[in-house]
Amino acid sequence: IASEKSMVSIFPNPATDVLNILSPLPIDEIKIVDLTGNILLIEKLAGKNSITLSLIQLEKGMYIIEIKLISGNTIQKTIIIK
């Protein structure tokens, strides 16, 4: 059985201006957090399985994306904006 983390696709990574997120499982919320823990973006999805996020407001660098599934589980991955 594939883990939920491996089932969620985040691309492109590194990203420039947009980030696509695809999940076979319904997503509740997505957060982008900087490495000091500051929340920079919150997007409520209310059960959607995909979204394209605009990253133009974020500086170049490394961030953590937190994807909270409807099931309550949270997936964290590192993303790079260049």
% of residues, the chain, pLDDT over 70:
98
CA 12 to chain centre: 11
Peptide bond connecting 14 to the previous residue in cis, omega within 30 degrees of 0: yes
pLDDT at position 2 over 90: no
Query: Mean of the pLDDT values across residues 34-48?
Result: 96
Are the C-beta atoms of residues 48 and 60 closer than 8 Å to each other?
no
Q: Is the model's pTM score more than 0.85?
A: yes
pLDDT at position 3 over 90: no
